[in-house]
Structure 1
Amino acid sequence: MKLLTKKTVLSMLLMAICVFSTGCLDNSTGNDDNEVLYSHVESPGLSANDFLSGETFTSLEVEVDYMQGFAPNEEALDSLEAFFKQRLNKQSVSINEPTEIPAVGEASYTASQIRALEEENRDHYTSVEDSTLRAYIIIVDGQYEDGNVLGIAYYNTSSAFFGATYEQVSGPGFGEPSRRLTESISYRHEFGHLFGLVNIPGSGTEMQTNHQDTENGRHCDNDSCLMYYAMENAGLFDQFLGEEIPALDANCVADLQGNGGR
């Protein structure tokens, strides 16, 4: 029987480690090859506890890309950051300076197209060896494929917003919500879904009291709550708004607190 040299044994051990380590998988997300990757392609809500608690990640950093002509409203991003600080148990949260990316010029976008745009444009990802969870926002120049929503949460750390729909819904006219208000509500609402609201299986953000509006999917049944379905519905958006950003109601707050949030 042929004896194995120390060099051969070491090589075999390294190969075995590669088989079982996610750090050796095909690096399709742009991470450094030496990092142990954190999956960013899971269903929305499945990173809820990582967002809400400080147990694994003590900081949150958000990357923002926007297509030419659709830069995010600065006050709306400030509002989103304030929302994070209010509801997340993090030592620090930050939203990076938005980056302009080329306009594609599509009238509408499918979720698959949005995912492809993220793969092409996203720069910052999470490593499980890091203390910072990194999330992604992309603002495109068209509408969503069904033309009726302001934003979508499409991966566990990713959300997309539709600039053309913002322009239809908001404006300076009498009774029209401002761009600041429209974007603030939309950003907060979609991150609410990333936090596991309302009743997303596997998120850990379980309902402490039954308050799901089952006729309208994963939304709250309180029409004054940020997570009410009309808050993302372009056709109904302005019917439920005053001048203030709707807050999460007591039931939604209790759900977040039950999964490590505030």
Structure 2
Amino acid sequence: MADNNQTVDTTRCTGNAETYTDSDTTEGAINVKGLPAGTYTLVETVAPVLHELPDAADAWYTFTISEDGVASDIADAKGGTTMLTDASGTSMNTIGDTRATGSATWKKTDIAGNALGGSTWKVTFCPDSSPNSCDEPVTITDWAPTDGSATHTECSATWACDTDSAAGSFKLTSLPWGTYTPVEQKAPNGYVADTTPRTFTIVRSKAADPIDATQLAKDVGSTENEISITSLPMTGGEWTPRNVALIGISALVLAAVSYGIVKRRRRG
């Protein structure tokens, strides 16, 4: 940078081999002292854990140190200021990195492990920044294209979308950090929904927790559905083979008990 926007003679810009240290012990805060007067370019070369470096065109920042030791605000690649004021009223140059996003997968099968397509789910998301203030549930429908498509274009702008083209297989991508709870709302045709909540966490459940890189990709597992039996008269709902078997066993037990009572009465 030159006074009055004069062209800078780049032959006068030379690298400084001197190493400077961060004098601020606060995590995420950097304070470098003793810089000589001049123009400086900042380039982030290594991002914090589970954060991503900005695009190359936006990866550099500039500032100047005047002859009397006064530092200018840091400007981004487009010339905008990075000076922000926090909740306490403190202003400082702030350079943000984008968080890496997560993914989650699960499968929908029958009790024999065969894939079942066509289920619909509700997923509730609670961000790590406000774990007690969850978003409204979103609907996730099993995506199983019949035209051979490999990319679900509707998922480009939202995480609330199945990106796995196989029937009965779910994959959510671009998941922000926080807690998710999927619950099956509609089972595949001919089956009964399993409404058990299956909560999982991407990276951390609340901001006070440490970052856990092992929780960036989650396998929620497999959810089984039982066959629906709807031919029972006057039951008012769906039944599974397990329900019917339990009723049959209960009826046999009741019959055996009744038979025993009648037999004792005859003996008496």
Higher share in helix: 1
TM-score, scaled relative to structure 1: 0.30
TM-score, scaled relative to structure 2: 0.30
